[in-house]
Chain A
């Protein structure tokens, strides 16, 4: 490698993240191939972020934040495997041969009055999940379509799996529809709900080991296959 000048002057600012984009790219390219600058940069950043840890606000995170982070990733082995987007996309390509009649699940609308406050909805949602006596709980990840949405599949030791969902009421003429994502891949309709806020939706399609689950917005009668991108999804349960 030809001799190259080390960016000694700008490396501290690079570590601080205060360079303009063009300068940043030049330094990044150099650091990528320079062991000495990599070491120097690590020392700048370790010192800076140690100071930042001392400068952080002393505040208690929400009690359930850890649970939500772990649940979101439990069973989500998507690193390198087929992603939910690809699975859903393929489900669009290969229509479900025989649609499950949209037998409405026993829509167990948890008796929550419509609450306008987000905090109340969050509390209600957490209480509903906390009440799960035995079984597994697998969180669905919200997508950019509705980052505030929450849902988890509850797979009881005995009985039918169900979803605990926190979503706003669907628009008029629409419904929330659950899908079980089978290998193939194909999406099989698994129940609809026109409820909003926090509600429970029993899955009308058996959930096999490793199946995924998604929720989309569909016409009120339900669809034979998803017609919109999911608002919530986990690619393996």
Chain B
């Protein structure tokens, strides 16, 4: 598992224009970032294109990273996810890999986890916490996170009152934070 202080030092080096530090950050998180993008986009070519754009965004935004606003892993994956959402919006390809309601993928999966990012024990714990959530809460998290849908869109797609969707999001996020934070 990468050391958080090391991660911050890497971002500082990137902010100073050190391309090798960008490579080192890729060594740590490139695989999981690619896995996130692959899950959100229509295929490997799109994931490859957006991964390059995302690391370019990391290069440009390194100076604005603030450790008090979250870990480097969170910052990096958020940039990747936003890049994927932008790609789908600008290319109009949202429909190509829709997250269907029936097959609403869970927020977590049983796939092997990159231990450089999350230890195996921790991954099991994360899975357990997510699976303790009621299925409808897991569904809204997955639709919002992987599908990039807003609460209003989820309400329309699932034919659920907006207030109910908001409530599920709030409860799920609070539980996730509470359970994962207390064991950190």
Q: Does B141 contact A (CB under 8 A)?
A: yes
Q: Does B94 contact A (CB under 8 A)?
A: no
The total of Cβ contacts below 8 Å across the A-B interface reads 194
Q: Does B35 contact A (CB under 8 A)?
A: yes
Determine how close the nearest CB of chain A comes to the CB of B30; give it in whole angstroms.
6
Contacts A13-B144, A13-B170, A54-B109 supplied; 5 other A-B pairs, CB < 8 Å? A19-B150, A38-B69, A41-B70, A51-B107, A65-B26
B residues contacting A by CB (< 8 A) are 15, 17, 19-20, 22-23, 26-27, 30-32, 34-36, 38-39, 44-45, 47-49, 51-52, 55-56, 59-60, 63, 68-71, 73-74, 77-78, 81-82, 85, 105-109, 111-114, 117-118, 122-123, 126-127, 129-130, 141, 144-146, 148-152, 154, 166, 169-170, 172-174, 176-177, 179-181
Q: Given the interface contacts A18-B149, A56-B111, does A50 sit within 8 Å of B35 by beta carbon?
A: no
How far apart sit A38 and B66, CA to CA, in the bound complex (Å)? Answer: 11
Contact of A49 among B22, B78, B113 (CB under 8 A): B78
B177 and A44: CB pair below 8 A?
A: yes
Q: Given the interface contacts A19-B150, A57-B35, does A69 sit within 8 Å of B55 by beta carbon?
A: yes
The 3 closest A-B pairs by CB, nearest first: A56-B35, A12-B173, A58-B111
Determine how close the nearest CB of chain A comes to the CB of B44; give it in whole angstroms.
8
A42 and B141: CB pair below 8 A?
A: no
Return 8 A-B CB contacts under 8 Å, by A number: A12-B177, A18-B144, A46-B70, A51-B130, A61-B48, A65-B26, A65-B30, A70-B22
How far apart sit A135 and B95, CA to CA, in the bound complex (Å)? Answer: 46
Contact of B19 among A48, A57, A60, A73 (CB under 8 A): A73
User: Using Cβ atoms and an 8 Å threshold, which residues of chain B touch A9?
Assistant: 166, 170
A residues contacting B by CB (< 8 A) are 9, 12-13, 15-20, 38-39, 41-62, 65-66, 68-77, 79, 118, 141, 147
Q: Given the interface contacts A13-B166, A48-B145, A49-B78, does A56 sit within 8 Å of B39 by beta carbon?
A: yes
B30 and A56: CB pair below 8 A?
A: no
How far apart sit A29 and B15, CA to CA, in the bound complex (Å)? Answer: 25
B22 and A73: CB pair below 8 A?
A: yes
B177 and A50: CB pair below 8 A?
A: no
A44 and B27: CB pair below 8 A?
A: no
User: Using Cβ atoms and an 8 Å threshold, which residues of chain B touch A75?
Assistant: 19
Determine how close the nearest CB of chain B comes to the CB of A234; give it in whole angstroms.
12
How far apart sit A77 and B34, CA to CA, in the bound complex (Å)? Answer: 25
A52 and B36: CB pair below 8 A?
A: yes
B35 and A59: CB pair below 8 A?
A: yes
A13 and B151: CB pair below 8 A?
A: yes
A49 and B154: CB pair below 8 A?
A: no
User: Using Cβ atoms and an 8 Å threshold, which residues of chain A touch B144?
Assistant: 13, 16-18
Determine how close the nearest CB of chain A comes to the CB of B136; give it in whole angstroms.
15
User: Using Cβ atoms and an 8 Å threshold, which residues of chain A touch B59?
Assistant: 73, 76
User: Using Cβ atoms and an 8 Å threshold, which residues of chain A touch B17?
Assistant: 76-77, 79
User: Using Cβ atoms and an 8 Å threshold, which residues of chain B touch A54?
Assistant: 108-109, 113, 118, 123, 126-127, 130
Contact of A57 among B55, B68, B109, B152 (CB under 8 A): B109
User: Using Cβ atoms and an 8 Å threshold, which residues of chain B touch A13?
Assistant: 144, 151, 166, 169-170, 173
By beta carbon, the residue of chain A nearest B149 is: A18
Determine how close the nearest CB of chain A comes to the CB of B63; give it in whole angstroms.
7
Q: Given the interface contacts A56-B32, A61-B48, A147-B49, does A16 sit within 8 Å of B181 by beta carbon?
A: no
